[in-house]
């Protein structure tokens, strides 16, 4: 890739989905080849730009899954992970032979901690291995990504040198992962700015910078957004934020941020937001568990309101408490949950929906009995509400229905 990126290209953030690779490494999230193919089709439908299908040399099953996806999925680029070893890189290339557009993703640790205790090599050997691996990958694919693993805990001068070597060897994307979820938004943004400033070839050659963040301190999405503000134009993420330990940055949260706060970021992705809930549900069905109810964007309570003050505001104008509509991300609708925190406005609304119109005095009487019930019962159902009404009200409803019939 040569020349500077166009202004139009700078306005899009590429979404690199690693649900099928890093996400699958989460305990309980392993998938069969057929399940990976199903999920890959869902990711294609939601509009990811790059789909990391697996780690080819890890197992025969992973190789088969990548090969199957490469033969079938045509929308996104298909990527395969490889250590900075010739055998890994060649296995990745073979697994991607049938892809319309392929990417080999090479990684090597850059922190002294990993080099000494995990790889047992020195810095000079790591630099040599980086150059050799990226160069070899470029002989097998036009699109090569390089990741210095544990970048955020690496000596800055050495990290810059490793990235420089990778760029000179032909890497088209440089990913700087926060492998253990250690950094902060300010630190991570500063890292990207420094790397760009100290290696002019990155901007001159149009090399794309990428973020890959883990959520060990709950900062994965915030750190990813900080990287983008510092010049990254690719974000690596997973559906529902699944992944090693506390997980990865959640794709749905990244995409929603650029949509809702377009006024702030002035950036966009190619993600079809209305399909986010569907792809989240697909993943849940495959791995047999879903996100927590309070998960942003796709959690069961993401558009649910129980507080009486919130419910009153929602009934007056949904903008009071919702910054996006449920429909914009493919959810069914706003849900006003009736519980002990609910007020009369929500109770009246639900009863009217059920066909019961009460006077203010009657509503107050039912409301007092409703609150007493809600103190004893965690979940209030429609039949519970109907049970609070007088026989006269229930008969009146029956009579009205008979008249309509």
pLDDT, tens only, 347-385? 888 788 888 888 888 888 888 888 888 888 877 777 778
Element (H, E) at 175: strand 173-178
Residue 394 to residue 323: CA distance in whole angstroms = 38
The tokens for 196 are 């760009």
pTM: 0.85
3-state secondary structure of 31: coil
Residue 269 contacts by C-beta under 8 Å, 6 or more apart in sequence? 12, 13, 14, 15, 47, 254, 255, 258
pLDDT in tens, 212-238: 999 999 999 999 999 999 999 999 999
pLDDT at 402: 44
Do 251 and 275 touch, CB atoms closer than 8 A?
A: no
From first CA to last CA, the distance across the chain in angstroms is 71
Residue percentage of the chain with pLDDT more than 70: 90
Domains and CATH numbers, the chain: 7-287 (3.20.20.70), 304-404 (no CATH)
**Cα dihedral: 30, 31, 33, 34 (round 10):** 180
Residue with tokens 């009736």: 338
Rounded to the nearest integer, the mean pLDDT of the chain is 90
Q: List the structure tokens of 16.
A: 């690199």
pLDDT at 334: 67
pLDDT band at residue 404 using 50, 70 and 90 as cut-offs? very low
Q: pLDDT at position 401, please?
A: 46
Cβ-based burial of 139 (10 A; exposed 0-12, middle 13-18, buried ≥19): exposed
Q: For 50, which DSSP code? A: E
Q: What is the mean pLDDT of residues 102-122?
A: 98
| Residue 404 dihedral angles phi and psi, to the nearest 5° | -65, -45
């Amino acid at each position: 890739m040569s020349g500077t990126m166009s202004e139009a290209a700078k306005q899009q953030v590429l979404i690199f989905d690693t649900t099928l690779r890093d996400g699958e490494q989460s305990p309980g999230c392993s998938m069969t080849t057929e399940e990976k193919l199903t999920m890959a089709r869902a990711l294609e439908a939601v509009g990811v730009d790059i789909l990391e299908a697996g780690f080819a040399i890890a197992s025969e099953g992973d190789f088969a899954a990548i090969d199957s996806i490469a033969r079938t999925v045509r929308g996104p680029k298909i990527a395969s992970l490889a250590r900075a070893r010739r055998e890994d890189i060649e296995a990745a290339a073979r697994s991607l032979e049938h892809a319309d557009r392929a990417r080999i993703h090479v990684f090597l640790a850059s922190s002294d901690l990993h080099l000494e205790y995990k790889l047992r090599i020195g810095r000079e050997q790591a630099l040599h291995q980086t150059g050799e691996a990226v160069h070899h990958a470029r002989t097998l694919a036009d699109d090569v990504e390089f990741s210095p693993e544990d970048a955020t805990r690496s000596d800055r001068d050495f990290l810059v040198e490793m990235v420089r070597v990778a760029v000179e060897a032909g890497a088209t994307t440089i990913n700087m992962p926060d492998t253990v979820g250690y950094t902060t938004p300010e630190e991570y943004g500063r890292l990207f700015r420094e790397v760009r400033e100290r290696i002019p070839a990155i901007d001159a050659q149009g090399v794309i910078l990428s973020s890959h963040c883990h959520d060990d301190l709950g900062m994965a999405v915030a750190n990813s957004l900080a990287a983008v503000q510092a010049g990254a134009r690719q974000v690596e993420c997973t559906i529902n934020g699944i992944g090693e330990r506390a997980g990865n940055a959640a794709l749905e949260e990244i995409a929603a941020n650029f949509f809702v706060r377009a006024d702030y970021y002035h950036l966009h992705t190619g993600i079809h937001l209305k399909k986010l809930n569907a792809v989240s549900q697909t993943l849940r069905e495959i791995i047999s568990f879903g996100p927590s109810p309070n998960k942003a964007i796709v959690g069961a309570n993401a558009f649910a309101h129980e507080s009486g003050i919130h419910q009153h505001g929602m009934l007056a104008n949904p903008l009071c408490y919702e910054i996006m509509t449920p429909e914009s991300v493919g959810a069914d609708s706003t849900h006003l949950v009736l519980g002990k925190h609910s007020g009369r406005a929500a109770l009246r609304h639900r009863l009217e929906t059920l066909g019961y119109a009460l006077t203010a005095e009657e509503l107050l009487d039912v409301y007092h009995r409703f609150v007493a019930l809600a103190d004893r019962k965690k979940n209030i159902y429609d039949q519970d509400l109907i049970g609070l009404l007088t026989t006269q009200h229930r008969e009146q409803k029956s009579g009205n229905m008979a008249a309509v019939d």
